[in-house]
Structure 1
Amino acid sequence: MTATQQRQIGSEEFPRTFVAPGARFDDWATAEPYYKQLVDREIKTLADFEQWLRDFSEVDAAFDEEGTARHIAMTCATDDAEREQAFLHYLQNVQPHREPWAQQLRLKFAELATRFPLPQKRYEVLERSVRSAIEIFREENIPLQVQLAEMSQQYQKITGAMTVTLRGEELTIQQAARNLEETDRALREEAWRAISDRYLQNADELNKLYDDMVRVRHQVAKNADCADFREYMFKAMQRFDYTPDDCLAFHDAIEKVCVPAVGRLFEQRREKLGLKSLRPWDLDVDIDQRPPLRPFKNDDELVAGCSKIFHKVDGELGDIFDNLSQRGLLDLGSRKGKAPGGYQATYNEKRLPFIFMNAVGTESDVRTLLHEGGHAFHTWSCRNDPLDAYRTYPIEFAEVASMGMEMLCLPHVDVFYGSETDRARKRFLEGIVTFFPFMARVDAFQHWVYTNVNATTAQRQAHWQSLTKRFSPHIDWSGLENYDRDSWHRKLHIFEVPFYYVEYG
């Protein structure tokens, strides 16, 4: 049996009351009767309606957990053919069948909410979300969404396979990037070029993949009667409180305020390092040429240190984190074949968070685990709500808990750094300032891409380079233009979760 097949079905803490205890939604034939029962059920009272909602949540949680488990397994080993096939089977042969039934249930919800008005203090947000989802659903988009998910998996597979050889040693991209903090400038440049050359090997493939994604996403938008994919995503992400124009104004404000501030920081860096200009490999080395911060040597030390920090912030948070560690819900270290980046996913039925990242012993890895811990605590704090929709926090609010947790933990990072704590805190705070222009560049790029869907690869590359000049004018890219034009390939959000980046700002 595969690891996926061996997974425990259901939740001992939250036992099923509607779905059969042993039912596993690894094929549509098992799941369909439950959705049909919900569609056909006669509702006579408000109490019936609320029980129907709880049963709907139970079915959806069991269904979603199957997909989440397969996605986690695949990202932990993108080079494992069995895991890949298990994920693709669910993606292609199980999940698409649910979507028309989910729309029927949303429509039934809207009709029932008219007949049996729900207490607005409890259900106002849910009603708004359901009506928004009804508005943009189109059955013809189901196969297109499958295509897009397959393309995202292909991006993970391509980038997860990337390694470089640096001074005779094969390293993952994350492991090689550690060298960008070294005081040896020749080593930094060598590491930077090795990483950049490795991405360049797949540049044509990734550009073609993105072309296909943009084309399919535009068709999804047109099918949903939206002018473009940007309009579609603002509805799909349920951005009720701000508009594309607000984002563009945010970019302008960052250009006006943050870019000059970063310029002052970078000028100080250039002078201290004694350089004529700052090259891309000069941005992470310590400004005083001190050895890199190396706060931990292995995953166990990272977990132990973050546990201490969380306990200092709040004992309950520390206990939750320790619980996750003991349950094996952390996969932290970088290795060949592992998908890039970091995330927190939720096993919706067990109501448990899972943390994934690519740690290599750096100061940024500590921040990443504190960040993902914030997501996990958010998930945990919602787990007793009977409605799956309320246990799954809106994507528009997700980063509040994670970015906030980074700040709450900052007073306690001496756990890792001892006498170097002030230095670590300064790097963290400077990183906030330097992040804003990069965030704006990533977001502005996507606004342009999806409102210029017929642009060629060359035009897209040129626009990215224009954004480099706008938001990062202090870095000397002379002679490196062929690297810069496709450097956005490294930002997985652009491929996998379009328009999801401005939230970090």
Structure 2
Amino acid sequence: MKFKDIPYKRVDMEEVKLSFFELIKEQKEAKSGEEQFEIHKKAYGLIDKVLTQMTICEIRHSGNTADEFYEKENDYYDEKKPEFDDLKLQYSKVLLESPYRPYLEEKIGKVAFKNIELQLKALNEELIPLMQEDNNLKSTYHKLIAGAKIDFNGEELNISLLRKYLTDSDRNVRKEAWSKLSGFFAEHSKELDDIYDKMVKNRTAQARKMGYKDFVELGYCRMNRNSYDRDMVKNFRDQVKKVFVPLATKVHEQRREALGLDSLKYYDNEMFFNNGNPAPIGTPEEILKWGKEMYSDLSLETKEFFEFMYENELFDVMGRKNKQAGGYMTFLPDYRAPFIFANFNGTSSDVDVITHECGHAFQGYVARNYEVEEHRDITMETAEIHSMSMEFFTDRYMEKFFGDRAEDYRKMHLADAIIFIPYGCMVDEFQHIVYENPDMTPDERKAAWMKLESEYRPHMDYENDPFFSKGGFWQRQQHIYVDPFYYIDYCLAQTCALQYRIKMDKDYGKAWESYLELCRLSAREFYEPMLNKVGLDSPFQDGCMKNIVEELTKTYF
């Protein structure tokens, strides 16, 4: 069924509540593990039904944040989703305390039960009002960003549509575009500071109600960090500072030389070539068509996947006014269908959608029919391996999208992957600082960001920009507002994707088989044992980053 034809009906949470209570009663009266699992399959059906309608609402609201109907529906779920999460948790607790838990663990998996334990540490009924408030703050932030009206060269643009000018080959054009972007954030800085300050204090209050010192531990529980902690993450960041920042600095110096500049400024930060970054040669419709051809050739599995996506119109990728910024992959459980949301804007990021988001969607498609639905419930540091690695596996097809600049794209893509890791770690350390010190003022947060810039991005020069030079750059990063502690997952995953880059240079077929096995493993294994099973080193392992730097330096630098 095409997405546009999928019907939407608001979830009646009172009916859902009664259904959960009935399932809980059945589970408590069950006489065997086998009977409990049969009841559990009914719970899958209930949860899938609710999540499908919530997801339809999310996609349609994201597509037009000014649509009054779906704005009201979104407000409804902002209020009701914490109640739904609490109902799921009450139900899961019965499984956790079941006398037949050994059978259920064998059937569903130890990872799933560890995740239930984390959820119990992350939520109780007392938190619902605070979680509802947090959801409202997220929606307020999304609406503010999506509603940006930036006047540039006589056009009224949102942030997504401005992006092509931020990477214009004419330095004066991109400087002016960055100035306009800075002006938007400066104009709304007080509002953004207030939203974030309320978020930090709200999340801290949630953590303290759960008995935690600060939000960091609660945030880790909510991210389902089921096999590593903040000390391991710090060790990873320390490795990045020691051996990866110097590599990134080398990449920035190569960029400076390629651009023919005496020094790099912040408006040069996303530029790689003096004649401009490679841009797609086709229309959005052609990019989708070429994506279909690419995935048809890559493997039988990707051919089947993309044809399903294409035929059912499971994309919303055209940039337009009032559309939420950014991109994501989500899943419609009742239809066993991934969905890709993005904003095409005429830059190379349009192709990244066809590689990155399709990496997510491909894994979702591979695992879509698993009987044990917990096996589809991957954590983010694993999910991002699927997407970032797919970017590298599809590198060989870039002539389709970039013509005679395909090799420029490949060079830019690798360089961008390298310089991203220090930035991503900086975002993560910033959030640790903020949530460990929740009473910081907005100015203190901005000062903390500038200090981290000097450690992770020493090349960065904001000149005298009135907003970015004062430590406001982080307010562009929606994950900091909406998905606390998510961003390090990109860094961990990029570390694994770079390992695949190195592997595929040696034996592409063997690397693809490892990747396909990773997709099929989904959430059956804990993070580090799963990496070991497919032949990847854990980013937490001492020496992992050093080995990657040595391999990349030997081959590319």
Same fold (TM over 0.5): yes
CA apart distance, 1:384? 1.1
Query: Which of residues 252, 256, 263 in structure 2 aligns to 1:266?
Result: 252
Compared with structure 1, are the counterparts of its residues 286 and 234 closer, same or farther at alpha carbon in structure 2 (3 Å cutoff)? closer
1:45 and 2:29 matched:
no
1:198 and 2:197 matched:
no
Query: Which of residues 175, 191, 197 in structure 2 aligns to 1:189?
Result: 175
CA apart distance, 1:324? 1.3
Compared with structure 1, are the counterparts of its residues 102 and 475 closer, same or farther at alpha carbon in structure 2 (3 Å cutoff)? closer
Identity of aligned residues (%): 29
1:367 aligns with: 352
Question: Which amino acid in structure 1 is aligned with residue 39 of structure 2?
Answer: W
2:199 aligns with: 213
1:90 aligns with: 77
The separation in 1 between residues aligned to 2:147 and 2:117, in whole angstroms, is: 41
2:343 aligns with: 358
Question: Which amino acid in structure 1 is aligned with residue 53 of structure 2?
Answer: E
Query: Which of residues 44, 57, 81 in structure 1 aligns to 2:44?
Result: 57
Question: Which amino acid in structure 2 is aligned with residue 8 of structure 1?
Answer: P
CA apart distance, 1:114? 4.2
CA apart distance, 1:418? 2.6
Query: Which of residues 177, 180, 188 in structure 1 aligns to 2:163?
Result: 177
The separation in 2 between residues aligned to 1:5 and 1:417, in whole angstroms, is: 31
1:29 aligns with: 14
Tell me how many residue pairs correspond in the alignment: 487
CA apart distance, 1:194? 1.0
SS in 2 for 1:118: helix
CA apart distance, 1:433? 1.1
Contact 1:38 1:52 in 2 (8 A): yes
1:349 and 2:334 matched:
yes
1:235 aligns with: 221
1:75 and 2:62 matched:
yes
Contact 1:96 1:146 in 2 (8 A): yes
CA apart distance, 1:297? 4.1
Contact 1:183 1:286 in 2 (8 A): no
SS in 2 for 1:349: helix
Structure 2 unaligned runs (5+)?
A: 492-557
SS in 2 for 1:396: helix
CA apart distance, 1:4? 11
SS in 1 for 2:150: strand
CA apart distance, 1:83? 1.2
Query: Which of residues 390, 394, 399 in structure 2 aligns to 1:409?
Result: 394
Query: Which of residues 396, 400, 409 in structure 1 aligns to 2:385?
Result: 400
The separation in 1 between residues aligned to 2:290 and 2:342, in whole angstroms, is: 16
Question: Which amino acid in structure 1 is aligned with residue 319 of structure 2?
Answer: S
Contact 2:114 2:226 in 1 (8 A): no
The separation in 2 between residues aligned to 1:45 and 1:160, in whole angstroms, is: 51
1:8 aligns with: 7
Contact 1:277 1:475 in 2 (8 A): no
The separation in 2 between residues aligned to 1:376 and 1:495, in whole angstroms, is: 24
1:387 aligns with: 372
SS in 1 for 2:334: coil
CA apart distance, 1:353? 0.8
The separation in 1 between residues aligned to 2:264 and 2:452, in whole angstroms, is: 18
1:476 aligns with: 461
Moved more, 338-347 or 407-416: 407-416
Query: Which of residues 283, 286, 296 in structure 2 aligns to 1:311?
Result: 296
Contact 2:282 2:401 in 1 (8 A): no
Contact 2:296 2:303 in 1 (8 A): yes
2:91 aligns with: 105
CA RMSD of aligned residues (A): 2.1
The separation in 1 between residues aligned to 2:227 and 2:272, in whole angstroms, is: 40
Contact 1:237 1:396 in 2 (8 A): no
CA apart distance, 1:481? 5.5
Query: Which of residues 248, 270, 278 in structure 1 aligns to 2:264?
Result: 278
The separation in 2 between residues aligned to 1:420 and 1:272, in whole angstroms, is: 15
Compared with structure 1, are the counterparts of its residues 114 and 481 closer, same or farther at alpha carbon in structure 2 (3 Å cutoff)? farther
SS in 2 for 1:170: strand
Question: Which amino acid in structure 2 is aligned with residue 442 of structure 1?
Answer: V
Query: Which of residues 460, 466, 484 in structure 2 aligns to 1:498?
Result: 484
CA apart distance, 1:471? 1.2
The separation in 2 between residues aligned to 1:322 and 1:459, in whole angstroms, is: 51
CA apart distance, 1:221? 0.8
Moved more, 206-215 or 375-384: 375-384
Question: Which amino acid in structure 1 is aligned with residue 229 of structure 2?
Answer: T
The separation in 2 between residues aligned to 1:307 and 1:4, in whole angstroms, is: 18
The separation in 2 between residues aligned to 1:5 and 1:407, in whole angstroms, is: 32
1:138 aligns with: 124
Query: Which of residues 227, 230, 233 in structure 2 aligns to 1:244?
Result: 230
CA apart distance, 1:65? 1.4
Compared with structure 1, are the counterparts of its residues 256 and 166 closer, same or farther at alpha carbon in structure 2 (3 Å cutoff)? same
Contact 1:88 1:150 in 2 (8 A): yes
The separation in 2 between residues aligned to 1:90 and 1:180, in whole angstroms, is: 35
Compared with structure 1, are the counterparts of its residues 116 and 174 closer, same or farther at alpha carbon in structure 2 (3 Å cutoff)? closer
Taking structure 1 as the reference length, the TM-score comes to 0.91
1:14 aligns with: none
Contact 1:136 1:235 in 2 (8 A): yes
CA apart distance, 1:196? 1.5
Contact 2:89 2:116 in 1 (8 A): no
